[in-house]
Amino acid sequence: MAEKSLAEIQREVDRYISQFKEGYFSPLSMLARMSEEVGELAREVNHQFGEKPKKLDEAENSIEMELGDILFIVCCFANSLGIDMTEAHNQVMNKFATRDANRWTPKNVEP
């Protein structure tokens, strides 16, 4: 499958949501949904890397699918508020490059 840009992903999510009369949920509902999805991710991470094995009758999920669910709801949230996630990402990366420029030890520099 070909790579998609973040803008393409946002448009794909919008096309999907736009086919339903209900449209996007309210921001508060989406925040609750996002919290729910992050909880499901935490559960999967705990099953794979933590001390809590899955129950025999528990649904087979994956970290990959849970991250996909989170990306979907993030796109829904952004779309509903008219936020360009590519621009948001660029702003965050600029913040890290400036504010945190000397916070971490570069791999190519010996301490």
Say what the pLDDT of residue 14 is: 98
Q: Which long-range contacts (CB under 8 A, 24 or more apart) does 23-31 make?
A: 24/76, 24/79, 24/80, 25/76, 25/80, 27/77, 27/80, 27/81, 30/73, 30/76, 30/77, 30/80, 31/77
Say what the pLDDT of residue 89 is: 97
| Ranges of residues in the chain whose predicted pLDDT is under 50 | none
Say what the pLDDT of residue 109 is: 63
CATH of domain 6-99: 1.10.287.1080
